[in-house]
């Protein structure tokens, strides 16, 4: 066998190694993307639970002051129950949207109660919940970026073939409710 | 001797070739992980974009610029010869004779918050910021100077005296107007300053010492820790070209080494 022939055989061998490596990297990348989504969701879930805990304490504080705001308090309690019963991403997203909307109403109505507004515990809970809300919004964006990257990748060639082999399907985005995008309507009697 | 040399070249080629896979992994990792906002950064491998903010700064060795990271390179123009007899040729080549870097912890800041960055073990990806040329007669005791820089690294209070080096600044992108001859030296400086925008990919870990209790550092299980003043796109482009170079150069060197070895043992 001539030098040229051996050179070509080795070069082909190296090209095959690169192709195998590329295939493995696509496989690993898809697995990583799928796990990124699960991790991003867990990171949101941690904050949703934290908000739930803070909310329980907040409700205890406001109950005494806002006796006549039954509608607002019921809305918050309902959202809290919906969150506890939610299982899938879609259900939790819906419950989260309900909660965000209920909290906005609660904080808006609290403006009518100067004593409550001056209460140190209320101020602390309000700031803590607002902080968590902001973090949830950022992590929701991150989750949607992760889902978007995954959904695009599994549609692209050559990733599509491996994704089909693995049985990967497009994942659901964490959608923000239309009501959440609009300003809160506040009515004073 | 020639046998060992050919096998050595084949081994170097194989190592460079497989380095291409490491770069491929890094390239994929950057593409796969979306950007996090600092406020909502979760524990584990994260990608953030932010500006450098630091109260304590160090000075770069040649331009004395206040920075949080610097790397220097000293290159010397050396005469290299190849071939023998009538085919003997000599050419001038820049050879690195000294290199070093220094880094200190700093903060990365975006519109949502601030995170502490511990740059120990980070791979810095930045362009040459300042270059200087030195004629061969201007300074002879290079080894003394290099050891001075290395000792000076640990003594941040003291400024390095570079006045005796007679350094001529080289403007970026412009051709050198003065002549080059063997023994000339070039001094290159890379640095990151307060306010520079960075692309960072590293492991976010909890730390009671850091504000916000989070620090970005090199992970115990995840070796990827990149600090770059290029955009994500620019970093990916640089990685891709390095990866292609590693596969091509490593592959060719490996094949050449194997062919020479086979020739020497009489197979071809």
Give the model confidence (pLDDT) of B9-33 as tens digits.
Answer: 999 999 999 999 999 999 999 999 9
Q: How large is the ipTM?
A: 0.71
Q: Does the beta-carbon distance from A3 to B259 stay under 8 Å?
A: yes
β-sheet bridge partners, residue B226: B123, B201
Q: Which of A14, A180, A36, A162 is nearest to A102 (CA)?
A: A180
β-sheet bridge partners, residue B72: B100, B189
- Show which of residues 146-175 on chain A sit within 8 Å of chain B, judged by CB atoms: 146, 149
Percent residues over pLDDT 90 in chain A? 20
Q: Which of B197, B194, B191, B203 is nearest to B235 (CA)?
A: B197
User: Which CA distances in Å does B174 have to A71, B86, B131, B170, B177?
Assistant: 72, 37, 11, 7, 9
In this structure, are residues B108 and B38 in contact, taking their beta carbons and an 8 Å threshold? yes
pLDDT at residue A28, rounded to an integer:
92
Of B28, B34, B263, the CB nearest to A3: B263
A187 has a pLDDT exceeding 50? no
Higher pLDDT, B235 or A110: B235
Q: For chain A, what is the domain count?
A: 1
In a domain, residue A154? The reply is yes
- Show the CA angle centred on residue A111, arms to residues A107 and A116, nearest 5°: 85
Identify the domain containing residue A118 by its residue range. 31-181
Instruction: Check CB contact of B37 with chain A, cutoff 8 Å.
Output: yes
pLDDT at residue B90, rounded to an integer:
83
In this structure, are residues B181 and B77 in contact, taking their beta carbons and an 8 Å threshold? yes
Instruction: Check CB contact of A4 with chain B, cutoff 8 Å.
Output: no
pLDDT at residue B225, rounded to an integer:
95
- Chain A positions touching B37 (Cβ under 8 A) are 138, 141-142
Least Cα separation, residue B48 to chain A (angstroms): 11
Average pLDDT over residues B194-208: 92
Q: Does the beta-carbon distance from A36 to B24 stay under 8 Å?
A: no
Average pLDDT over residues A67-83: 77
Mean pLDDT of chain A: 81
Least Cα separation, residue B162 to chain A (angstroms): 48
Of A11, A36, A139, the CB nearest to B251: A11
Q: Which of B97, B38, B15 is nearest to B215 (CA)?
A: B38
- The whole-angstrom separation of Cα B128 and Cα B170 is 11
Average pLDDT over residues A131-147: 88
Q: Does the beta-carbon distance from B39 to A135 stay under 8 Å?
A: yes
A139 has a pLDDT exceeding 80? yes
Instruction: Check CB contact of B32 with chain A, cutoff 8 Å.
Output: yes
- The whole-angstrom separation of Cα B49 and Cα B110 is 7
DSSP string, B146-213: HHHHHHHTT-TTSPP--GGG--EEE-TT----S---TT-EEEEEEEE-TT-EEEEEEEEEE-SSSGGG
The DSSP output letter for B47 is E
Which domain CATH number covers A114?
1.20.1440.20
B228 has a pLDDT exceeding 90? yes
Q: Does the beta-carbon distance from B24 to A39 stay under 8 Å?
A: no
In a domain, residue A81? The reply is yes
- Chain B positions touching A3 (Cβ under 8 A) are 259, 262-263, 268
The segment with the largest mean pLDDT, out of A96-110, B66-80, B177-191, is: B66-80
- The whole-angstrom separation of Cα B68 and Cα A149 is 34
In a domain, residue A44? The reply is yes
In a domain, residue A10? The reply is no
- The whole-angstrom separation of Cα B139 and Cα B137 is 6
Q: Is B130 exposed, middle or buried (0-12, 13-18, 19+ CB in 10 A)?
A: buried
Strands B226-228 and B123-125: parallel
Task: Label residue B51 by pLDDT band (50, 70, 90).
Answer: very high
B131 has a pLDDT exceeding 80? yes
In a domain, residue A21? The reply is no
Q: Does the beta-carbon distance from A146 to B34 stay under 8 Å?
A: yes
Q: Euclidean distance between the first and final Cα of chain B, in Å?
A: 19
- The whole-angstrom separation of Cα A93 and Cα A83 is 9
Q: Does the beta-carbon distance from B25 to A25 stay under 8 Å?
A: yes
Give me the count of residues in chain A: 189
Average pLDDT over residues A94-120: 79
Higher pLDDT, B127 or B85: B127
- Chain B positions touching A2 (Cβ under 8 A) are 268
Instruction: Check CB contact of B42 with chain A, cutoff 8 Å.
Output: yes
Strands B69-82 and B89-103: antiparallel
In a domain, residue A94? The reply is yes
How many other CB atoms are found less than 10 A from the CB of residue B48? 23
Of B33, B247, B268, the CB nearest to A3: B268
Task: Label residue A178 by pLDDT band (50, 70, 90).
Answer: low
pLDDT at residue B69, rounded to an integer:
95
Question: Peptide bond preceding A158: is omega within 30 degrees of 0, i.e. cis?
Answer: yes
In a domain, residue A16? The reply is no
Give B107-116 pLDDT, tens digit per residue: 999 988 899 9
User: Which CA distances in Å does A147 have to A36, A163, B27, B236, B262?
Assistant: 9, 14, 19, 21, 52
């Amino acid at each position: 066998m001539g030098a040229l022939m051996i050179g070509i055989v080795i070069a082909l061998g190296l090209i095959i190694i690169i192709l195998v490596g590329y295939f493995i990297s696509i496989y690993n990348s898809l697995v990583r993307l799928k796990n990124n989504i699960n991790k991003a969701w867990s990171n949101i879930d941690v904050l949703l639970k934290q908000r739930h805990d803070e909310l329980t304490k907040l409700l205890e504080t406001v109950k005494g002051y806002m006796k006549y705001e039954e509608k607002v308090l019921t809305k918050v309690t309902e959202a809290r129950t919906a969150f506890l019963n939610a299982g899938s991403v879609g259900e939790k997203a819906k419950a989260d949207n309900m909660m965000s909307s209920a909290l906005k109403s609660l904080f808006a109505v609290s403006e009518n109660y100067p004593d409550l507004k001056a209460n140190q515990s209320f101020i602390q809970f309000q700031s803590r919940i607002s902080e968590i809300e902001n973090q949830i919004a950022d992590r929701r964006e991150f989750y949607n970026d992760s889902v978007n990257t995954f959904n695009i990748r599994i549609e692209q060639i050559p990733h599509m073939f491996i994704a089909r082999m693995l049985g990967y399907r497009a994942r659901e985005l964490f959608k923000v409710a239309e009501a959440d995008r609009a300003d809160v309507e506040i009515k004073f009697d | 001797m020639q046998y060992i040399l050919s096998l050595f070249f084949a081994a170097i080629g194989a190592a460079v070739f497989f380095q291409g896979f490491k770069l491929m992994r890094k390239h994929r990792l950057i593409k796969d992980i979306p950007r996090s906002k600092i406020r909502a950064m979760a524990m584990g491998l994260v990608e953030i974009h932010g500006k450098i903010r630091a109260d304590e700064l160090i000075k770069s060795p040649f331009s004395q610029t206040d920075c949080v990271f610097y790397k220097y390179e000293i290159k010397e123009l050396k005469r290299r010869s190849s071939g023998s007899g009538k085919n003997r040729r000599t050419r001038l080549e820049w050879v690195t004779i000294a290199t070093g870097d220094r880094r200190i912890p700093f903060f990365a800041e975006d519109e949502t918050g601030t995170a502490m960055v511990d740059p120990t073990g980070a791979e810095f990806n930045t362009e040459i910021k300042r270059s200087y040329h030195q004629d061969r007669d201007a300074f002879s005791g290079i080894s003394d100077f290099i050891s001075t820089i290395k000792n000076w690294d640990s003594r941040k209070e003291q400024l390095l005296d570079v006045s005796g080096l007679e350094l001529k600044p080289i403007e970026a992108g412009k051709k050198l107007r003065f002549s080059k001859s063997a023994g000339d030296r070039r001094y290159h400086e890379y640095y990151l300053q307060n306010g520079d925008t960075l692309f960072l990919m590293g492991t976010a870990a909890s730390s009671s010492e850091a504000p916000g209790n989070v620090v970005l550092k090199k992970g115990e299980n995840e070796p990827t820790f990149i600090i770059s003043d290029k955009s994500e796109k620019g970093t990916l482009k640089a990685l891709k070209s390095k990866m292609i170079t590693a596969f091509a150069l490593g592959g060719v060197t490996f094949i050449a080494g194997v062919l020479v070895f086979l020739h020497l043992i009489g197979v071809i």
